[in-house]
Structures are given as C-alpha cells and as structure tokens.
Structure 1
Amino acid sequence: MHEDQVDVTAETVAILIRDQFPHWSGKEVRLLRTTGTDNAIFRIGDDLAARFPLRRAEAAEALVVLQREAGAGAELARVSPFPVPEPVALGEPGAGYPMPWSVQTWLTGTVGWDADPGGSDGFAEDLATFLAALRRADTRGRTFNGAGRGGALTRHEDWMDLCFAESEGLLDVPRLRRVWSGLRELPREGADVMSHGDLIPGNVLVEGGRLAGVLDTGGFAPADPSLDLVSAWHLLRQGPRKVLRDRLGCDDLEWERGKAWAFQQAMGLVWYYVESNPTMSGLGRRTLDRILGSED
C-alpha cells in the first residue's frame, strides 16, 4: 500500500516473541487479514494482539510514536464506557524487522467491515454514548497538536487540491469541488475536546447490531469537537445518523463541520487506495455518496 512499506511475517513475529517475551512463546501467532493501512496485526494466543508499523521510520522516532500511542490508549481505557484495547508491552527491533512494535489486549467482536452497523439505531445510540464520554474527558489543558485532521479545515487546501487532481476519472470532481468550497469555510466554534480521531468501520467492533468495542485508540487526543462526527458518515445510514445527532444535541454548524472532516478524509481514501486497498477506497466512495445525498 505504501512505497516505504515494511513487510513482516508470522515467522518473524514468533521469533521476536521467543526472544523478547519468552513467557508468551507457547502462544500461537496468527496474521489477521485486515483492511488496516498503518499496521500489520498479529493475534498472539487468545488474549493478545501485536501491532507492527508498516511504514519505515527511524527506530528511535517510531518508539516515541508507540510510547505516545500507548499512553493515549491507556488514557482512553480509563474513560471509555465500551471496551478498548489496553497496552501491555513494547517490543524492540529484531529478526530483520527494523522498528519497535506494540502488544495490546485482544477484544472480541466483529469489525464494522464485516458486521455493518449502519442501519442500527441501537448502534447509533451506543456511538453517541461513547462520543459523549470522550467529550467529557479532561483535556488537562492540552490542545490540538496541529498535525492531521482536527484543527482548521483551511489548512488542508494543498492536500485537497492533490486529491481533486488524483480523482479525475474516478469521481465527479467539479461537483465535489463545489461542495468542498462551502464546507471549507465553516467557522470553528467551541474549545477542543478529547477525540478518538479515526472512527471508521475497521475501528469499531459490533455484536448484535450494538457497539461492542473500539479499536485503534492511539490517536486519542484533543481536537475540534466535530472531528469524531466523521463516524456519522463513515458508519451510519440516514435514520441512525439522525439518532446520533439528536442524542448528542449537535447544532447545524457542528454537524456540518463533522461532514467536512468526513469529506476531507473520504477524498483521500478513494484515489490513494484505489488499487492497493479496494475496501478503504470503497469506504471513501460510500461516505462521499452519503454526503452528496445530504446536499441534494
């Protein structure tokens, strides 16, 4: 999926486990076939999961990232009303793998790709409960760190220009440019709140049409209060989307800014993963279709 991608196999993981965590060496190592774009995930026995970054980075820099993600995951675990993976250990480079890696607790449930919760009002209610809990969490004086989504929409103009250029022949770019021209100008109101930052189908677990857990918690950090509303467009169809909005009490501006962040993310998914990860590309298309449908 990436030009700088590092491959890792179950055999390599087994060696790393044996050498660095011998008390787990009897556990079966299994690669999980996921649509994730940042990490290769291996199940370690029945109760653990190991995450291996796919994009090459200096080991020291990668360690700082993993330590920050572990801290964020532990912080989210303390405030989440639903199960989330909890950090267990950090591994070191070895056996030909050049970066540190992480181990977390394993959660049961079916990922949203395989158990689409989009038509479930109950799931929308659970999602609202989760987001409300994050919004109540103490930022401890922290603010958005200035990287990625979650700050000013207008700071993404260069990225969006690239997305529109790369999407020629894939999408109705003139129409999408018109939609973005309105969304990008939406003013910001409200202080930063704690945010998951990437609520897409691959990062939620579903059981019986309800929210069973939330994955990929390393991005838990302060951001625009509307950022986690991307979930309304990535995860929900029209009826449950309204349930989510009503339960959270979103006003028009906050709701539209959530739509803007979902639009920004979806535009990148379509073209970047069109060949390497069709599921992610398809998510981008579906989200854009939902947004365009709401604009009609």
Structure 2
Amino acid sequence: MSTGQPHPGVHPIDDELVRRLIAAQFPQWAGLAVERFPSGGTVNAMYRLGDGMVVRLPLVEGGAKDVWMEREWLPLLASRLPTAIPEVLGAGEPGEGYPWPWSVYGWLAGENPEAGALSEPVLLAKDLAEFVAAMRSITLPGAPQAHRGGPLAALDASTRAAIEELRGIPQEGVDCDAATAVWEDALRAPAWDGPPVWLHADLMPGNLLVGGGRLTSVIDFGCMGAGDPACDLFPAWNLLPAEAREVFRETLGVDDSTWRRGRGRTLSQALIALPYYRKTNQAMTHNARHVIRAVLADV
C-alpha cells in the first residue's frame, strides 16, 4: 500500500546550491540568473539559467542513470525526430555536497498542454502521431530497454493492489469494477510479437511543450528505450479528447491488440499514481483522475 509520501531519498536542492555548482563547473555562466522552474515532476528539479538554458538535477538517486542516458542518446536522436528535443550544453558532475551527475540544457519555449483546454486537438494529435512514428522508425543499435517496455503482466499485481486501495477511498469516486474489467481486457490482448521499437515511454502532458496549439518540443527522455509500441499511446487518454484520440490512432495505424494494451498501460499508471500522490502532488493526481475518467468513458 502506498504511503502518500514523496519518493524516499530526496536530496535537498535550492537556488544557492545550483549557483555554487554552476560557478565551480561552468564559470562562463556564473553571472547568469538562477530561478527554480515549477514542475509537477517527481524525479528531477529544474532551474532556469539566464534566458536560454535550464539546469536539470535529479532529486533521487534513481534519476542519475537518466542523466547518463540522455547524454548518450539525445544527440543521436535529435536529427531523426520531427520535433525539437533537449540539447545537452553542459555535463555537470557531483560536487558542492550534491551527489549525482546533472546537466545544463538549452531552453525550449512552450507550455505544457492541458487536457480539456487544447486549442487545436486534432492537429496536436497528428503532431504526436508523427513524433511517435518517427521514434518507432529509429534503427540505432544498442537501445536500452524502455522503462515501461516490458510485458503488461508485470504490472498486474501493482495495478490490482492500486484498485483495491482505491476501493477504500470512496471520495475519489473510481468505478473499481469497471477499471478491473478494462485492465483484464488489456491482459487478454495478444502480446506484441514484433521486434522492440524505440519509445519515449513517458509521454505525459508535463513532458510535452506546445505553442499555438501545436507540438513544439518533447522533453524528459529518461524512460526511453526499446519495447512494446503500446507504451507510447499514453497521450490518447492522458491528453486528447475522443475525436482527436481517433485521429491519433488512425494516423499511427494502431491495431486493436496494441490499442487495448496501450489503454491498459495508461490506466494502470493512473490507478497506481492516484493513491500514491493524492496528498503530495496535485499535477500527478489531477492527470490520473482525468485518465481514469477518459479510459472508462472510452469503453
């Protein structure tokens, strides 16, 4: 059962620590303004550095491997994708009492999209499908295993435990029997029998940037790697309304089995996140509630 607490082992980070790290390792940027950038993320802290950069530091030890992975793969992926992705400008190392690697990236302008408030949902759906298709088409060898790329059955115990926990929180109003039925349908869907494909594997609204209603950037590739293509269908339910959802599916040409697995994965993530974060992270719980409503309405 979840405790409703943030991830354990969070390292304290503040403006002064970031200034010291920059001054010690990147003196050419020491005079630039440092300002915490608000984010609903739970693994990294972000700080604006001047007008054109952002510093991203893991809050927990598990985020350190994401730093190394982005340094290795982002330069190789950038030219192969139709949408801007982060560019690593500086590779920071442990220091000043901070224990993990960290990075400085170029700033990417835009706003996180919000479900229910999209100005161009159909066009955004096409943009997202184009990005996912481009990821799938990448043939770079040696891809890591995507964080969410494994068999759906591996999520069964944690998903069912979350459903039972939500039965004990009636104020959330989750139809737990309906959620169980959707989850079991996803488990019955045939498994992916093709080769693993490249995935972003964390296409949450907080990892997307839009301008004028269109997708301008995709950020936070810490979960990327190869796996089941169903793992990159998350936006269908965590962001897009019904009409745009169908455009997303049609543009990608998603078969029924992959769609069912993708719906199940998206629901599983939301079911697990809601009781875990409901007292500590408003952004995560708001999105989880939206996903549960969208999935159950979809079926």
TM-score higher than 0.5 here? yes
Cα distance, 1:188 vs structure 2: 1.5
1:238-261: CA deviation from partner (whole Å, max 9, x where unpaired):
011111111111121121111111
Matched letter for residue 237 of structure 1: P
Partner-residue secondary structure (3-state), 1:124: helix
Unaligned runs of 5+ residues in structure 2 are 1-5
Residue 21 (structure 2) aligns with: 16
Structure 2 CA distance for aligned equivalents of residues 209 and 228 of structure 1:
20
Contact 1:112 1:205 in 2 (8 A): yes
Matched letter for residue 122 of structure 2: D
Residue 200 (structure 1) aligns with: 204
1:203-252: CA deviation from partner (whole Å, max 9, x where unpaired):
11111111111111233311101110111111101011111111111121
Cα distance, 1:139 vs structure 2: 4.3
Structure 2 CA distance for aligned equivalents of residues 140 and 273 of structure 1:
36
Cα distance, 1:275 vs structure 2: 0.8
Partner-residue secondary structure (3-state), 1:164: helix
Structure 1 CA distance for aligned equivalents of residues 72 and 142 of structure 2:
16
Contact 2:231 2:262 in 1 (8 A): yes
Residue 188 (structure 1) aligns with: 191
Higher deviation after alignment, 158-167 or 230-239: 158-167
Identity of aligned residues (%): 36
Structure 2 CA distance for aligned equivalents of residues 246 and 100 of structure 1:
41
Unaligned runs of 5+ residues in structure 1 are none
Cα distance, 1:95 vs structure 2: 2.5
Q: 2:180 aligns with which of 151, 156, 177?
A: 177
Structure 1 CA distance for aligned equivalents of residues 267 and 65 of structure 2:
30
Alignment of 1:77-156 (within 5 A): 77-113=78-114, 116-117=117-118, 120-140=121-141, 142=143, 145=145, 148-156=147-155
- Aligned length, in residue pairs: 289
Residue 235 (structure 2) aligns with: 231
Structure 2 CA distance for aligned equivalents of residues 118 and 201 of structure 1:
15
Change (3 A) 1:119 1:263: farther
Higher deviation after alignment, 84-93 or 38-47: 84-93
Change (3 A) 1:47 1:252: same
Contact 1:117 1:210 in 2 (8 A): no
Matched letter for residue 260 of structure 1: G
Higher deviation after alignment, 174-183 or 129-138: 174-183
Residue 281 (structure 1) aligns with: 285
Contact 2:178 2:296 in 1 (8 A): no
Higher deviation after alignment, 103-112 or 88-97: 88-97
Structure 2 CA distance for aligned equivalents of residues 114 and 79 of structure 1:
28
Matched letter for residue 163 of structure 1: A
Cα distance, 1:83 vs structure 2: 0.8
Residue 3 (structure 2) aligns with: none
Report whether the alignment pairs 1:257 with 2:261. yes
Using the size of structure 1 for normalisation, the TM-score is 0.91
Contact 1:120 1:240 in 2 (8 A): yes
Matched letter for residue 7 of structure 1: P
Partner-residue secondary structure (3-state), 2:236: helix
Using the size of structure 2 for normalisation, the TM-score is 0.90
- Report the aligned-residue RMSD: 2.0
Residue 53 (structure 1) aligns with: 58
Residue 221 (structure 1) aligns with: 225
Structure 1 CA distance for aligned equivalents of residues 256 and 135 of structure 2:
21
